[in-house]
Amino acid sequence: MRTLTKEMQSDLSPEMAVQLLKDGNQRFVDNLKLNRNLLQQINETCDGQYPFAVILSCIDSRTSAELIFDQGLGDIFSCRIAGNILNDDILGSMEFSCRLAGSKVIVILGHTKCGAVEGACQHVKLGNLTALLDKLRPAIDAATSEKPECDLSDAAFMKDVGRLNVHHVISEIPQRSQVLAEMLKNNEIALIGGMYDVDTGKVTFYED
């Protein structure tokens, strides 16, 4: 598998970049990962990098974006934080990835059985974690609005919170970043969400 070059990255459309991720996840699920010479990729990326995607995912040990999407060194930027929440530093990282480094798609990737989502639903208070979990409150409120009588500890409810949090982050990005909003308007990049199933390894993309 060839390492991405500047020319290869430039030739990719946002739609093609999304398809690369879909194809990679299918290989991951089928246990048919591409053969890569990682030492060669180290040598080929030592003077520069041209990733085609930036992926915001959770710190959960089961959700490594490089593995889930069967990508190698230099292929993707990976932002990881509990609950795949958004903050100014992550927004700045996305702006760098897309405007300056040429990435073609931003993916907000949630996952099933997320500990951060569970903690937020259970109103966990613990040092600096408290403020992080508070960023999941809009998704909890949205889920509660959809199902007012639902038990917050119910697995199906927490799954809904994870889904709604992905959509919330997607909606926040163009509102909080003029740089990314302009790139989206000009169709220079795509912005999509997805949910990784820790039971199957499959990513379900939210493309609406």
Binding-site residues for Zn(2+): 58, 60, 111, 114
- Side chain identity at residue 26, one-letter code: Q
* Secondary structure in 3-state letters for the chain: CCCCCHHHHHHCCHHHHHHHHHHHHHHHHHCCCCCCCHHHHHHHHCCCCCCCEEEEECCCCCCCHHHHCCCCCCCEEEEECHHHCCCHHHHHHHHHHHHHCCCCEEEEEEECCCHHHHHHHCCCCCCCHHHHHHCCHHHHHHHHHHCCCCCCCCHHHHHHHHHHHHHHHHHHHHHHCHHHHHHHHCCCCEEEEEEECCCCCCEEEECC
Binding positions are 58, 60, 111, 114
Q: Give the integer Cα–Cα distance in Å for 139 and 159.
A: 11
